[in-house]
DNA sequence: GATGAATGAGTCTTCATTCAT
DNA sequence: AATGAATGAAGACTCATTCAT
C-alpha cells in the first residue's frame, strides 16, 4: 500500500479512538484490554500500534479528544453578549453535555468519571485536564463578572466555582443515580440562595 | 471459641483496609496489586486472603466502608430542627467531607473519584453507592422541604439535586483543580439564583 | 509454603540456570525464549521470574556464573611456584577449559562465543567480562614475568596477550572447526618463535 | 532487458548490506530489526525484500560478504615465496584484519564475534564459515610446511592451528579488552616457545 | 517496479490466587 | 492458623513479512 492520505490517516485514528471509547465505556479504562480495542476497531494489533504507541497514549488521546470535543460544543455558549442569566447558561451547558453524550453512542458523563479517576495517578492526563477545567472556569468567571455589573458585591470567582461544581456534580449524579435532567439544575437553584436562607 | 477474638479480627480487617486505601489512593484501584496491599499491611498473602476473599471484595469493602464513614460524619448535620439555611448546611457538609479527608492521611475526595469510576462497571459496587447517594439526597430533600414551608413554590426534589450536585462537584473540582474551599460554595451561591437572573 | 531455606533457593536458582544454559547452547541467547527456559526448568513462569527479574538478568547470571566457574577451575593452575613453562601452562589451561566443557553436558567453548557476542551490545555483560579477562591476563603476565627472570629482554605483557589470544582463539577454533586439541597448542607453538623466524 | 542494470542492482545490494552491517554492529544481529536496516538503507521495505528474501538471508549475505572481503585482503599475503617468517606473517595478517576494520566505519573484529555466535545455531552460516577458516588454515599450514623445510621435526598442521588461534584470539581480545595491537603478537611470541620452556 | 500500511503470531512479563508445609 | 513460594492465564507490545495500490 502506498502512502496513505492525511485524511485517511485521521479517519483511521478516529476509528480506533471510537472503538476505544466504546470499550472504555463498557469495561472501564483498565479492564479494557488492547485486544478488546483491536477487535472492536476491526484492525490488527500492529495497525492500532502504528497509530497509538501504547495503551497509555490511547487513553490520553481518548480523554483529551473528548475534552476538546466538549469544548467545541460549549464554547459557542460563551459568545453571547450579554451572557444569558446564570440559570439559563447553566441549563444550556448541561444540555450541551447531555447532547454530546447522546452522540455516537457513548455517554460522556460516564466516561468523564473514568478520565477523572485516571487523572489522579496519571500526570500526563492530569495536566491537560486541569488546563481544560481551569479555562472552562475562567469562561464562567467572565460571565459572572458581567452579571455582577448590574448587582455589585458578588464574587465572580466563587460564582464560577459554584457553577463548575454544579456542572461536574450534575455529571456525577447522572452517572450514578441517572435521574437528573439539565432543567433540574435551573429549577433547583431557584429555591436556594438569598434571600431565603437567613 | 475462636483462636482470635472478634476485636482482633476486626482490627486486622481495618489494618488491611487502611493499607488498601493508602495504596488505592496513590496508585489507583487497578494499578494497585494485591502484593502492594499485602506488603503495606505487613501481613502475609494468606492472611490477607483470609480476611478478604478477592481483590474485588477488598475494593468493595474499601468503598462501602468509606461511604459509611462519611455517612456517620454527615448524619448529625441533618438532625438540627429546623435545619440550618441552605448555604450554611452546604458549608457544613462540605466541611465534613474535607475533615474526613484530612483523617488518617488519605484524601476522600480523590478516592471518591476512584470509587465512582469503578462503580460504572462493577454492579456490586454501583448498587450500594447508588443507595448511599439516594439516601443522602433524600436527607437533602427533607431539609429542602422544610425550607420550602416558609416560602412555597419551591421544588424540594430539584433543590436536593442541586445541593447534591454542588457537593459532588465540589469533590471533583477539588480533586482536579485543588483550589476550592468549602466556604466558596456558600459565597458563590449567594451571587446566583433569583432575583438576579431575570 | 513457608519460607524456603537458602540452600533450596540456591538450588532452584541453579536449576533454572542449568535449564537456561542448555537452551542457550542449543538455540542461542536471543532465539531462546523465556518459555523454552521455563519449560526446560520444570517450573512455572512466575517461579522463574521470582528468581530472575528478566531475561537479561538471566543471561547476565548465566554468563557471569560460567565465568566464575571457569575461574575456579583455572585459578589453581596459577599457584604453582615456579610456574610450569609456557607450553605446559597453556596446555593445562586449555585442558581445564575442555574439562569444564565436558561437565554437565554443555559446551563452554560454544557458549563463550554467545557471551562475547552479547557483550558487544550489553554493557552490563561487557563490564564483568572485561574484568574477568583482564584479571586472567594479569595472571598470565605474572607467570610471564617469572619466566622472564631466567631470560631477560622479554615483554611479559605482550607474552600474556599472546597466551590469552592463543586460549581465546583455541575456543573459537574449536567451536567453529572442532578439530583442535589442547595438546596442539603446545606442539604448534614449538615450531614458531625464535630462533626460527628470521 | 532488466529495467535496472546489473551494476545498479549490485550497488543497491551493497547499500543494503552496508546499512545492515552498521546496524548489526551497533545493535547486534537479533536486536537489529528489519525496520532498522530499512531505515538505515534509505529504501523501502519492499525494496529491501526484493534484494534479500529474509532477514536470515541478509545475515548470511552480510557474514559471507565480510568473509570474502577479508579473504581478498589476506590472500596476497600468502603469495610471497618464500613466505615471510612466522612472526612477520602473523603481524601482516593481523594488520590486514585491523585495516579491514577501519574501513567504512565498521569494526570487523566486533562483527566477527556476532557471526561466530550466530553460526553456532545456524547451519547455513556455519558451513561457509567453516569452509572459510579451513581454507585459511590450509594457507597457514602451507606456509608452515615451507618454514619446516629449513628446520625439520615441526608439525605444520599444529603450527597452523596455533597461528589461526592466535589470530582469532587477537580478534576476541581486541573486541573485549581493546588494548591489543597487531605488533603485540609478534613481540609476545618471541618470549614463548623453546628453548625457554623446558 | 516500488511503496509502506497492514498483518498476526509470538515474546516477555505480571499478578490474583492457592495450598503444601 | 499462618506463611509465602508457586502457579499459569492473560496482558501489552514487537516485528518479519506481505501485498493492495
Radius of gyration of chain D, Cα coordinates, nearest whole angstrom: 19
Encode burial over B66-76: b for 16+ CB neighbours within 10 A, e otherwise: bbeebeebbee
Q: Are D166 and D153 in contact (CB under 8 A)?
A: no
Spatial separation of the C-alpha atoms in residues C135 and C140, rounded to whole Å: 9
Closest CA to D30 of D18, D17, D20: D20
Q: Are A157 and B183 in contact (CB under 8 A)?
A: no
- Check whether residue D56 has its CB closer than 7 Å to nucleic acid strand F: yes
Residues from chain A contacting residue B26 (CB–CB below 8 Å): 121
Spatial separation of the C-alpha atoms in residues C134 and C2, rounded to whole Å: 43
- N residues, chain B: 198
Interacting residues of D35 by C-beta distance below 8 A, sequence separation 6+: D45
Nucleotide nearest to C44 (CA to C1'): F7
The answer to whether A176 contacts B151, with C-beta atoms less than 8 Å apart, is no
Pure H helices in B104-155: 108-119, 123-150
Spatial separation of the C-alpha atoms in residues A79 and A99, rounded to whole Å: 19
- pLDDT at residue number B82: 83
Note the strand F nucleotides within 7 A of protein beta carbons: 1-21
Q: Are C185 and D190 in contact (CB under 8 A)?
A: no
- Check whether residue A49 has its CB closer than 7 Å to nucleic acid strand E: yes
- Check whether residue B54 has its CB closer than 7 Å to nucleic acid strand E: yes
C-alpha cell read off for C4:
524456603
Look-up of cell digits 494497585? B32
Sign of the dihedral through C-alpha A114, A117, A119, A122: negative
Q: A159 vs chain B: nearest CA distance in angstroms?
A: 4
Closest CA to C167 of C106, C112, C118, C107: C112
The answer to whether B188 contacts A87, with C-beta atoms less than 8 Å apart, is no
> B133 and chain A: CB distance < 8 Å anywhere?
yes
Spatial separation of the C-alpha atoms in residues B113 and B24, rounded to whole Å: 11
The more confident residue out of D28 and A102 is: D28
Q: Are C34 and C45 in contact (CB under 8 A)?
A: yes
- Check whether residue C32 has its CB closer than 7 Å to nucleic acid strand E: yes
Look-up of cell digits 590472500? D75
Spatial separation of the C-alpha atoms in residues D136 and A120, rounded to whole Å: 67
Q: Side-chain half-sphere of D183: how many Cα atoms within 13 Å?
A: 1
**Averaged pLDDT score across all residues of chain D:** 89
Sign of the dihedral through C-alpha D170, D172, D174, D176: negative
Per-residue pLDDT tens digits for A178-195:
999 999 998 898 877 654
pTM of the entire predicted model: 0.91
Q: Are C65 and C103 in contact (CB under 8 A)?
A: no
Per-residue pLDDT tens digits for D2-12:
456 788 888 99
> Which 3 state secondary structure label does DSSP give D85?
coil
Angle between helices B55-74 and B108-119 (to 10 degrees): 130
In percent, the amount of chain C with pLDDT more than 90 equals 72
Per-residue pLDDT tens digits for A51-63:
999 999 999 999 9
Q: What share of chain C is helix, strand, coil (3-state, %, to 5)?
A: 75, 0, 25
- pLDDT at residue number D4: 66
**Partner D, chain C 45-104, Cβ-Cβ below 8 Å:** 85-88
Spatial separation of the C-alpha atoms in residues C107 and C25, rounded to whole Å: 8
The answer to whether C134 contacts D30, with C-beta atoms less than 8 Å apart, is no
Largest CA distance in chain B: 71
Per-residue pLDDT tens digits for C112-138:
999 999 999 999 999 999 999 999 999
- Check whether residue B11 has its CB closer than 7 Å to nucleic acid strand F: no
Look-up of cell digits 447508588? B130
- Check whether residue D47 has its CB closer than 7 Å to nucleic acid strand F: no
- Check whether residue B55 has its CB closer than 7 Å to nucleic acid strand F: no
D49 CA, F15 C1': Å apart: 14
Q: D113 vs chain C: nearest CA distance in angstroms?
A: 5
Spatial separation of the C-alpha atoms in residues A119 and C61, rounded to whole Å: 40
Spatial separation of the C-alpha atoms in residues D198 and D196, rounded to whole Å: 6
Per-residue pLDDT tens digits for D116-174:
999 999 999 999 999 999 999 999 999 999 988 877 778 899 999 999 999 999 999 99
A54 CA, F13 C1': Å apart: 8
Q: Supply the DSSP string of D73-131, one letter for each residue.
A: HHGGGG--SSPPPHHHHHHHHHHHHHHHHHGGG--HHHHHHHHHHHHTT-HHHHHHHHH
Nucleotide nearest to B47 (CA to C1'): F2
> B162 and chain A: CB distance < 8 Å anywhere?
yes
Per-residue pLDDT tens digits for B30-57:
999 999 999 999 999 999 999 999 999 9
Backbone phi, psi, residue A103, to 5°? -60, 135
A33 CA, F10 C1': Å apart: 10
| Mean pLDDT confidence for D64-89 | 90
Residues 6-35 of chain A within 7 A of strand E, judged by CB, are 12
> A30 and chain B: CB distance < 8 Å anywhere?
yes
- pLDDT at residue number C45: 97
Under the banding of pLDDT at 50, 70 and 90, the label for residue A2 is low
Interacting residues of A174 by C-beta distance below 8 A, sequence separation 6+: A109, A180
Query: In D37-84, at which residue ranges do the beta strands (DSSP E only) sit?
Result: none
pLDDT tens, per residue, chain B with 198 residues: 445 677 888 899 999 999 999 999 999 999 999 999 999 999 999 999 999 999 999 999 999 998 998 899 899 999 988 889 988 999 999 999 888 766 666 788 888 999 999 999 999 999 999 999 999 999 999 999 998 887 777 889 999 999 999 999 999 999 999 999 999 998 898 877 654 333
Best B90, B188, B196 member to test A by mutation, with max A CBs in 10 Å, is B188
Under the banding of pLDDT at 50, 70 and 90, the label for residue C22 is very high
Amino acid at each position: 500500500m502506498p502512502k496513505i492520505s492525511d485524511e485517511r490517516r485521521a479517519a483511521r485514528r478516529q476509528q480506533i479512538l471510537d472503538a476505544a471509547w466504546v470499550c472504555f465505556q463498557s469495561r472501564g479504562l483498565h479492564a479494557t484490554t488492547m485486544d478488546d480495542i483491536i477487535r472492536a476497531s476491526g484492525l490488527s494489533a500492529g495497525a492500532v500500534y502504528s497509530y497509538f504507541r501504547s495503551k497509555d497514549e490511547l487513553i490520553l488521546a481518548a480523554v483529551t479528544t473528548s475534552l476538546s470535543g466538549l469544548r467545541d460544543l460549549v464554547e459557542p455558549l460563551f459568545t453571547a453578549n450579554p451572557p444569558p442569566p446564570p440559570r439559563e447558561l447553566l441549563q444550556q451547558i448541561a444540555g450541551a453535555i447531555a447532547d454530546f453524550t447522546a452522540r455516537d453512542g457513548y455517554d460522556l458523563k460516564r466516561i468523564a468519571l473514568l478520565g477523572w479517576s485516571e487523572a489522579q495517578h496519571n500526570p500526563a492526563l492530569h495536566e491537560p485536564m486541569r488546563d481544560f477545567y481551569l479555562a472552562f472556569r475562567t469562561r464562567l468567571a467572565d460571565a459572572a463578572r458581567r452579571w455582577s455589573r448590574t448587582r455589585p458585591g458578588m464574587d465572580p470567582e466563587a460564582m464560577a466555582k459554584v457553577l463548575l461544581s454544579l456542572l461536574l456534580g450534575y455529571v456525577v449524579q447522572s452517572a450514578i443515580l441517572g435521574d437528573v435532567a439539565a432543567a433540574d439544575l435551573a429549577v433547583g437553584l431557584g429555591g436556594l440562595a438569598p434571600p431565603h436562607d437567613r
